[in-house]
Structure 1
Amino acid sequence: MKFINRCVVTLKPRQPFIDWAKGLGTELPQDWSLEGGSYLLDEQETEEGLEASLANHARDMMENELSALEEDRGRWPELRDLRALKSLFDVHVSVAGFDLGTDSLMRADLSDLEVI
């Protein structure tokens, strides 16, 4: 087991996100409990620092989640700040992360990856 010096933020869709997704007219997950991403943020010493880090990254996290279901940004909610993120997702923060994997970690900028 290896400690990672990151806070782990896990997002789980709330009903407003599910309702938005249903309005898209696309194929949707049957089990929403399996949906939502986890994001690693820099370690924070204070609750204020953690809240500021969440606010700084809220747009990126939200846009990543929205893009998983809809590529057309025109169909996304206009507001994509921390308040909007918290209205669409349950946001759980763990202040410590542990890596139980045996494979080496892969780090890649998403813009560098070819996604089919």
Structure 2
Amino acid sequence: MYFVDRSVAVIKPKQPFADWLNGVPDNDMELSLDSLRADCTVILIPEFDEPEEGVSHIDDIAQRLFEMELATWYEDKSLWPTDRSLKTFWEWFDVEIHSMVIDTVDDELENTPLDD
């Protein structure tokens, strides 16, 4: 096992995200908040000494995270909410930040850039 020089953030949808998703005209399934929160996005963030540093990093990338979460469900941006401000991000998502990351796999990590 190996310590990883990163912290981790778990992005968890809140009710406004579920309401948006269930209100999209093309959506033919009703998803509960519990089901949306059962398997969430986890991102690596820089190591930090204070939890506030992790929150500050999330603030810096919140718009990209917001759009990534929306695109996970619908790539058609016309279906996305128009207000994707930092305030709305925090209204739509809980973020858990954890300082310790341990890699239990001996294989090399692969980094593949996300398409922007």
TM-score, scaled relative to structure 2: 0.80
**Equivalent position of 2:90 in the other structure:** 86
Alignment partner, residue 111 of structure 2: 107
Two-structure CA RMSD over aligned residues (Å)? 2.2
- The residue number in structure 2 matching 1:6 is 6
Letter in 2 for 1:43: E
What's the TM-score once normalised by structure 1's chain length? 0.80
Q: Cα distance 1:58–1:27, how it changes in 2: closer, same or farther (>3 A)?
A: same
Q: 1:36 to 1:82 in 2, by over 3 A?
A: farther
The answer for unaligned runs of 5 or more in structure 2 is none
- Letter aligned with residue 107 of structure 1: N
- Give the corresponding residue for 2:27: 26
Partner Cα separation in structure 2 for residue 41 and residue 75 of structure 1 = 29
How many pairs align? 112
| One-letter amino acid matched to 1:12 | K
Q: Which amino acid is the alignment partner of residue 14 of structure 1?
A: K
- Given that 1:36 and 1:65 are in contact with CA atoms closer than 8 Å, whether structure 2 keeps it comes out as no
Q: In the TM superposition, what whole-angstrom CA distance separates every residue of 1:33-65 from its partner, at most 9, and x where no partner exists?
A: 333201111112334432321111111111111
- Residue in structure 2 matched with residue 15 of structure 1 by the alignment: 15
Q: Which amino acid counterpart does residue 109 of structure 1 have in structure 2?
A: P
* 1:57 aligns with one of 61, 85, 89: 61
Q: What is the rounded CA distance, in whole Å, between the counterparts of 1:7 and 1:27 in structure 2?
A: 37
